[in-house]
Amino acid sequence: MNTLMLFLSFLGAIFGTKKIKTKPETMDANAKTSFYQIKINALDGKPVDLSQYKGKKVLIINVASECGYTPQYADWQQFHEAHGDKIAVIGVPANNFGGQEPGSSKEIASFCQKNYGVTFQMLEKVSVKGKDQHPLYQWLTKKELNGWNTQEPGWNFCKYLINEQGELVKFFASGIKPNDKDFQAVIQ
């Protein structure tokens, strides 16, 4: 990706993405897929059954090791340690923005553990947008699948909050951290 395209993509991430999107009071009752039916593997290649999160809130974050937002790993690890019994934090490495997650699964796992002590669930590296978008991100970003949302990640460290019933309820842009008042209001 040339420098101009990278810069324009970054500007779009900052200015073109709503900071927070909320599930409307009424949504499409015809959503065709359940969050709990999606198939995905952990960084170690073992299958992760998303139905294990029934009855618990889940926060999905597309992560990258070479991004200006990468220090958020520490924030989300601290949040996981304090609230992991009620809200599962799940990191999903992606290389869609500026090639900022070039590593293999083994390299990503090592980086996260060595630099941030990450113990929250990390999934396999996937594409979060485009023609090769993983089914998890198809569900998160396609109204016909999740019932209301069409917001794709605009950059690394975008967050999607799923409630205890497996419904997508919020989108948070990259800059939102656990101590942000808008995030805190949702998890109370």
Catalytic residue (one of 27, 40, 42, 67): 67
pLDDT single digits (tens) 83-93: 999 999 999 99
CA distance 83 to 100: 28
Whether the pLDDT of residue 27 is over 70: the answer is no
Q: Give the domain ranges of the chain.
A: 3-187
Q: What is the pLDDT of residues 148-166, one digit of tens each?
A: 999 999 999 999 999 999 9
**Confidence at 21, pLDDT banded by 50, 70, 90:** confident
- The letter for the amino acid at 23 is K
Q: CATH number for 3-187: choose from 3.40.50.11540, 3.40.50.300, 3.20.20.120, 3.40.30.10.
A: 3.40.30.10
Task: Indicate if 67 belongs to the active site.
Answer: yes
Q: What is the pLDDT of residues 112-142, one digit of tens each?
A: 999 999 999 999 999 999 999 999 999 999 9
Q: Is the pTM of this model over 0.85?
A: yes
CA distance 169 to 160: 8
pLDDT at 10 over 90: no
Specify the residue for token string 């998160």. 140
The Cα 98–Cα 34 span in angstroms is 31
